[in-house]
Amino acid sequence: MRGDGVTRVMVTGGAGFLGSHLCERLAAEGSDVLCVDNFYTGTKRNVAKLAKHPGFELMRHDITFPLYVEVDEIYNLACPASPIHYQFDPVQTTKTSVHGAINMLGLAKRVKAKVLQASTSEVYGDPEVHPQREDYWGRVNPIGTRACYDEGKRCAETLFFDYYRQHKLRIKVARIFNTYGPRMHPNDGRVVSNFIVQALRHEPITLYGDGQQTRSFCYVDDLIDGLVRLMGSPDELTGPVNLGNSTEITVLELAERIVAMTHSRSPIVRKPLPADDPRQRQPDTTLAERALGWRTKTPLEEGLKRTITYFDDLLREGEPSPLAVASGAG
Ligand code: NAD
Ligand code: UDP
Ligand code: UDP
């Protein structure tokens, strides 16, 4: 706590998609926010609006190296999250998860801070249990191309629980399921951003496999609300806690919905399914509902509308916007 009673919160990966929304929420609530990022996939632009906020500070730093600061709470979000980004330099991905976790836990231990880990549904791998509950141990290929991310995140969870048992640290582990919204990267290959950008440009929609695989998409504001509630929960609640939307849809249905919402002329084309692509994914969010009083509020239609508007504005900056042309707005 600062001398005047203000909570000092550090967000690693704070210039990324989720991190920038979290920084905004925390700053709006009156916390002192230290955003730490090495800009590997995040950008200063994502937090540009916050630059003038008196409680906000941006620090360029790679969390695989030690960091000495004084804070009360740490949200550890630093890690590339999309397969294209995390597979670009897989060794660095594992280092970020594992060395990064060790450094953030060491820091939390020294300053007695509470520390939250942004874990992932990927710890369940390609699951045999459906929907996934927190007590399911998962089915991960330890030597596959997704392993740098999945196993890195699993090892980070191990470290969090060992620091909890061994050093009595106050920890929180959130297992985040597919989340979407404004400030997703337009080129990171994730399905929502890919389909929206392709649809707005009237380019072919790339459907991997038969499109019958399912995902459950959570709107970013709902997810951030879950993270903040988890951090504020009693110390006994360590998690892991699933955070995600439990409405499941097939990837083909998602493609069709986005084409319709953007009035796109894009055809849907089939592409090969990537290796180890999970067939089904849906969180069981009973624990989050019971322990945090958390529920998602944003229907897919509404979240997609806001995300489409974001990408339409983004494309408009670089080229004539297909939506603007379609509506005659210029
Ligand atoms: P993102 O790529 O937009 O954000 C990650 C941020 O971490 C970026 O700003 C990047 O520059 C930064 N970063 C990467 N390596 C770093 C390092 N070594 N040191 C400092 N900063 C570093 O991804 P996101 O979607 O915002 O994901 C944030 C976190 O949430 C990640 O840990 C991710 O694994 C987790 N997560 C996200 C989702 C999702 O659907 N978006 C799902 C599950 C888990
Ligand atoms: N660490 C850090 N900031 C701190 C305290 C520790 O980055 O304020 C790093 C430190 O470099 C160390 C790691 O966290 O490698 C783990 O710290 P811990 O105290 O648990 O272990 P030790 O220092 O004994 O290796
Ligand atoms: N996907 C797709 N076309 C794309 C991008 C992704 O069909 O252009 C599929 C992908 O194969 C997966 C699902 O959409 O089945 C979600 O992919 P994403 O990379 O967004 O998330 P993850 O696989 O990590 O859940």
Please tell me the residue having the least CA distance from ligand 1 atom 12.
13
Which of 28, 35, 29 minimizes the C-alpha distance to 11? Answer: 35
Strands (E), 92-240: 114-120, 171-176, 179-180, 205-208, 214-216, 218-219
Active site residue 40: no
* Distance, CA of 66 to CA of 102 (rounded, Å): 9
Local mean pLDDT, 10-residue blocks, the chain (330 residues): 84 98 97 97 95 95 98 98 94 98 98 98 91 95 95 98 98 97 93 97 97 95 98 98 95 98 97 87 95 97 98 81 40
Predicted local distance difference test score (pLDDT) of residue 322: 44
CA of 118 to the centre of ligand 1 (A): 8
Specify the ligand 3 atom closest to the Cα of 178: 25
Q: For residue range 249-302, what is the model confidence (pLDDT) as tens digits?
A: 999 999 999 999 999 999 999 999 988 788 888 899 999 999 999 999 999 999
Atom of ligand 3 nearest to the CA of 83: 19
**3-state SS of 241-297?**
EEECCCCEEEHHHHHHHHHHHCCCCCCEEEECCCCCCCCCCCECCHHHHHHHCCCCC
Q: What is the pLDDT of residue 311?
A: 96
CA distance 26 to 7: 10
Write down the pLDDT at residue 319.
Answer: 53
pLDDT of residue 4: 78
Tokens (6 digits) for 63: 């969390």
Q: Which of 63, 176, 193, 216 to mutate to test the pocket of ligand 1 (most atoms within 8 A of CB)?
A: 176
Full-model pTM: 0.94
Which ligand neighbours the alpha carbon of 11 most closely? 1
